[in-house]
Amino acid sequence: MAELIAPQVLKGFRDSLPQQEIPKKTLMSKLETVFESFGFVPIDTPVLEYTEVLLGKGGGETDKQVYRFTDHGERDVSMRFDLTVPFARFMAAHAAEVSLPFKRYHMAKVWRGENTQRGRYREFVQCDFDIVGADTAAADFEILLMMARAMDELVEGKATIRLSHRGIFNRFLGVLGASGQSVPVLRAVDKLAKIGSDAVKKLLLESVDEIGASKILAFIGAQGDYLSVLAQLEALSGGISPESERLRELHSLASELGLAHRFVLDPSITRGLDYYTGIVYETFLDALPALGSVMSGGRYNNLAALYTKQELPGVGASVGLDRLLAGLEELGLLKSVAGKSDVLILATPASGAAQKLAQLLRAEGLNAEVFLLDKKVAQQYKFAEAKGIRFVAQIGEGGVQYKDTITGEARTGLDPLAFATWVTVRQP
């Protein structure tokens, strides 16, 4: 016999067992339902693309992490490292084939050869949603509203969306005479929650002077209710501007829908990335603020500039799926289960009878699993327990006995509908 090959996966990669895959799929399905209720449609793009398409002609910090190689046709190709760049390429290629404004979502894997010591994985699922083709308060608000709706579904609304506006921040930097420093300043401010204001100030002093750093900290530290913070920001950024009016309009829309309390104006939210041009936002679970943002994004006004001269303004967000999953599991809102069967039908010498019963129960909408080996009943109960199957059915001479393994209650002679009703009452 040949030598065995170790069944190992690559560093930074992982198998997804049912107890991980089921909650992940449940979460994705809940998000999809919300997205579709707003008219968002799914798309997909290839995992492999021309390297030039993904990285542009230049290069950046991400490049070193990209899985890049030469394919059979001597093409320079790379695996996608996010869903934003492929979406930009997609929009440049298909803008004429889709109806604008185009509302799309995309849930798919991406790959980054990151340092795994920080607990990061090299393969993970991203979930993005965007509206392209409308630079309006209505579009900004729709994304915010959809984020709030998703949080209704996932955590009964117990989440807060903190938002700000890149344009106001830029105006403020202009007033400060520090417009040229916007990139390092944004990066420093973005670290506030992680490293604290003293450390941010130290970073800021690399780009601006002592007074500037203090003013920046005062700006991002503005507190109070939405409208009073807005007034402070306007005062610090040279007065009322189209950007501050956009924030005011968003507040008015949220108020009209009775949702003003879900949105906090927080000027410390800036998002590190360069490409945002309008509102930016992050989402925090009220019960787990230290988890960090579970859904973040903003407005960018030139999505596909690398590929087309057509201006395609967009606004959207990305779900931190792994982080959100961890949060929901910690809060007991999404259970890690190894199976989704409602009932296990114990093995019987006449296996046709078991599948016949299973078919009747499936017709009532139940997930009915048949045990396929001739094992002791105790072992079959153990199987049910391991897979999280609450009910067990045993075919006997006097009919079918159904048992609730949690309460111990047993009933014989129920018809399939009556049993299905019982199951639904017990595990709604």
Residues 344-383 that bind a copy of itself (CB under 8 A): 344, 347, 351-356, 358-359, 362, 366-373, 383
Binding mask 162-181 for a copy of itself (x = CB under 8 A): --------------------
Per DSSP, helices labelled H in 221-342 are 226-236, 242-256, 321-330
Binding a copy of itself (rule: CB under 8 A), the pick from 28, 30, 45, 260 is 45
DSSP-derived pairing of the beta strands 123-132 and 314-319: antiparallel
| Position 154, amino acid | L
For the bound state, the minimum distance from the C-beta of residue 194 to a copy of itself, rounded and expressed in Å, comes to 26
Map the footprint of a copy of itself across residues 66-95, applying CB under 8 A: 67, 69-73, 75, 77, 79, 89-90, 92-94
Q: Which stretch binds a copy of itself (CB under 8 A): 188-196, 263-271, 287-295, 386-394?
A: 386-394
**For residue 369, which of 357, 358, 382 has the smallest C-alpha distance?**
358
Binding a copy of itself (rule: CB under 8 A), the pick from 231, 340, 401, 404 is 340
**For residue 428, which of 344, 174, 420 has the smallest C-alpha distance?**
420
Give whichever of 252 and 424 is closer to a copy of itself, judged by the CB atom.
Answer: 252
Map the footprint of a copy of itself across residues 276-295, applying CB under 8 A: none
Two tokens, residue 423: 């199951």
Give whichever of 13 and 199 is closer to a copy of itself, judged by the CB atom.
Answer: 13
For the bound state, the minimum distance from the C-beta of residue 219 to a copy of itself, rounded and expressed in Å, comes to 29
- List, as one string, the DSSP characters of 163-189: EEEHHHHHHHHHHHT-GGGHHHHHHHH
**For residue 142, which of 53, 286, 227, 259 has the smallest C-alpha distance?**
259
Give whichever of 99 and 407 is closer to a copy of itself, judged by the CB atom.
Answer: 99
Map the footprint of a copy of itself across residues 297-336, applying CB under 8 A: 304, 306-309
Q: Which stretch binds a copy of itself (CB under 8 A): 44-52, 167-175, 216-224, 400-408?
A: 44-52
Map the footprint of a copy of itself across residues 1-30, applying CB under 8 A: 2-11, 13-18, 21-22, 25
Is residue 237 within 8 Å of 171, Cβ to Cβ?
A: yes
Give whichever of 98 and 217 is closer to a copy of itself, judged by the CB atom.
Answer: 98
User: What is the C-alpha to C-alpha distance for residues 54 and 316, in angstroms, rounded to an integer?
Assistant: 20
User: What is the C-alpha to C-alpha distance for residues 318 and 277, in angstroms, rounded to an integer?
Assistant: 16
User: What is the C-alpha to C-alpha distance for residues 114 and 426, in angstroms, rounded to an integer?
Assistant: 45
Give whichever of 375 and 411 is closer to a copy of itself, judged by the CB atom.
Answer: 375
User: What is the C-alpha to C-alpha distance for residues 209 and 168, in angstroms, rounded to an integer?
Assistant: 21
Give whichever of 190 and 385 is closer to a copy of itself, judged by the CB atom.
Answer: 385
For the bound state, the minimum distance from the C-beta of residue 253 to a copy of itself, rounded and expressed in Å, comes to 5
Residues 6+ positions from 183 with CB-CB distance below 8 Å: 274
Q: CA-CA distances (angstroms) from residue 198 to 172, 192, 193, 272?
A: 21, 9, 11, 19
Tell me whether the omega of the peptide bond preceding residue 101 falls within 30 degrees of 0, making it cis. yes
User: What is the C-alpha to C-alpha distance for residues 368 and 359, in angstroms, rounded to an integer?
Assistant: 8
Q: Which stretch binds a copy of itself (CB under 8 A): 64-72, 164-172, 191-199, 221-229?
A: 64-72
Binding mask 119-158 for a copy of itself (x = CB under 8 A): ----x-------x-xx-xxxx-xx--x---x---------
For the bound state, the minimum distance from the C-beta of residue 148 to a copy of itself, rounded and expressed in Å, comes to 10
Residue 291: φ, ψ to 5°: -65, -25
| Interface with a copy of itself: number of residues (CB under 8 A) | 110
Map the footprint of a copy of itself across residues 216-255, applying CB under 8 A: 252-253
Give whichever of 42 and 221 is closer to a copy of itself, judged by the CB atom.
Answer: 42
Specify the DSSP element, H or E, that contains 111.
Answer: strand 102-111
